[in-house]
Amino acid sequence: MSNSRTGTETRTMTSTGPRAESLRPSTGMLTVLRVGISRVGYETRMYFRTTDSVFFTFLFPFIMLAIFTAAFGSSGNIGTAPDGSGGISVGAYYLPGMLAAGMLLSGVQNLAVDIAGEKGDGTLKRLGGTPLSPLSYFIGKIGQVLVTGIFQAALLIGVAGVVLGIDLPTDPEKWLTFAWVFLFGVITSAFLGIALSALPRSGRSATAVVIPIVLILQFISGVYLQFYLLPDWMQNAASVFPLKWMAQGMRGVFLPDSFASLEQNGSWDFPLIALNLGFWLVVGLVLSRVTFRWIRKDA
């Protein structure tokens, strides 16, 4: 498609020009970083001003937790031993799943719908005409996911502890585990969201494409349904995808260790969690890098 005949001409003209055509490395990375950080604030502000994202991404886990607690709260504790000890409330059982759902929604659903929309409404075309580096744009998006995800998780844990009276871990080691699973999971989700945004053909169809994927994952990955009750084949299918591992990691933090025996391998399998999330992080990164375009050229 491109031609080679322009080469000589362009070179001569460029060399006489007062400015280099590419970003100079001396100011380059600093600018990319500075602009990226300024975009985190800009993107976060936009996020909270968009009713759809606040409701379907930010508040959704709260709503689901409230529904599960209200619907099943009266049917007694989960995982109670025959002697009546060791059980936990429905809310306590579902809290890890909702945290995992929040990580997935804040990353995958939020960014896939958001970026596909920006592609469709001309936002990206406008940005593509400015000296904004795609890297700064990514920093802004991932930063937004981190900020809103952390805010969401903190509120969710706060509500669980204060309103629902759920016992939270006191062991600092548990919170350290929480920190890495959460950060790893959210960043993986964010990259997968950027990658997935290439799939919808238009901004309008974005929710129709993205939400079923996210919803099915939540059902098979132990967010809404108790994972240990699912058939083996479904558990195995879910194990391919990252949500199952995020949920398992959160259960490992928030459920008593006695619940580990309900997991597929009878343990929390933290190394496997790290392995799976690492794999999907690389997949998301590569796909984001390969598929992202300011505009669909020559569409």
Partner 1 sequence: MELSPPVVRVRNLHKSYGDFEAIRGISFNIEAGETFALLGPNGAGKSTTIEILEGYRDRTSGEVSVLGVDPQRGGLGWKSRLGIVLQSTGESGNVTVTEQLTHFAGLYPRPRRVAEVIEAVGLESKAKTRISKLSGGQRRRVDVALGIIGRPELLFLDEPTTGFDPEARHQFWDLVRRLKAEGTTILLTTHYLDEAAQLGDRAGVINDGLLIDIGAIGEIGGADARVPLVRWREPSGELREKRTPEPARLVAELVAASGAEPADLEVIRPSLEDIYLGLVRGSRAPNDAAGVLADDTEVLA
User: 199: which DSSP letter?
Assistant: S
Nearer to partner 1 (CB atom), residue 109 or residue 188: 109
Q: CB 144: neighbour CB atoms within 10 A?
A: 26
Q: Using alpha carbons, select from 138, 64, 152, 140 the residue that is nearest to residue 106.
A: 152
Which of these ranges, 34-42, 82-90, 153-161, 191-199, lies near partner 1 under the rule CB under 8 A? 34-42
| Residue 205 interacting with partner 1 (CB under 8 A) | no
Size of the site for partner 1 (CB under 8 A): 42
- Let me know: does 87 contact 80? Beta carbons within 8 Å: yes
Question: Interface mask (CB under 8 A) for partner 1, residues 121-140, using x and -?
Answer: xxx-xx-xxxxxx-------
Question: Is the separation of the CB atoms in 76 and 177 below 8 Å?
Answer: no
Q: How far is the CB of 9 from partner 1 (least distance, A)?
A: 6
Of the candidate spans 5-13, 67-75, 181-189, 257-265, the one that interacts with partner 1 by CB under 8 A turns out to be 5-13
Instruction: Kindly tell me the sign of the dihedral angle through the C-alpha atoms of 141, 143, 146, 148.
Output: negative
Residue 156: CB minimum distance to partner 1, A: 25
What secondary structure letter does DSSP report for 260?
A: G
Task: State how far the Cα of 170 lies from the Cα of 156, in Å rounded to an integer.
Answer: 17
Q: Rule CB under 8 A: say whether 204 interacts with partner 1.
A: no
Structure-token match 């129709």, residue found:
208
Nearer to partner 1, 42 or 72 (CB): 42
Q: Output the CA angle 122-204-216, nearest 5 degrees.
A: 130
| Closest alpha carbon to 88 in 96, 97, 79 | 79
d(CA 50, CA 53): 6
DSSP code of residue 109: I
- Least distance between partner 1 and beta carbon 210 (Å): 17
Nearer to partner 1, 51 or 170 (CB): 51
* Residues contacting 183, CB < 8 A, separation 6+: 146
Residue from 117, 143, 185, 193 touching partner 1 (CB under 8 A): that is: 117
Nearest approach, Cβ of residue 296 and partner 1 (Å): 10
Of the candidate spans 10-18, 145-153, 180-188, 238-246, the one that interacts with partner 1 by CB under 8 A turns out to be 10-18
* CA distance linking residue 107 with residue 218, whole number of Å: 14
Of 33, 42, 72, 183, the one binding partner 1 (CB under 8 A) is 42
What's the CA gap between 122 and 37, in Å, rounded? 22
Residue 38 contacts partner 1 per CB under 8 A: yes
Binding flag, residue 30, partner 1 (CB under 8 A):
no
Two structure tokens written together for 186: 């959210």
Q: Which stretch binds partner 1 (CB under 8 A): 31-39, 90-98, 180-188, 204-212?
A: 31-39
Among 46, 168, 262, 283, binds partner 1 (CB under 8 A): 46
Residue with tokens 């990514």: 138
Are 250 and 153 in contact, with CB atoms under 8 Å apart? no
Piece of 119-127, 153-161, 230-238, 267-275 that binds partner 1 (CB under 8 A): 119-127
- Taking the complex as a whole, the smallest distance from the CB of residue 171 to partner 1 amounts, in Å, to 42
Question: Residue numbers of the site for partner 1 (CB under 8 A)?
Answer: 1-3, 5-6, 9-10, 13-14, 16-17, 19-24, 34-35, 38-39, 42, 45-46, 49-50, 117-118, 121-123, 125-126, 128-133, 295, 297-298
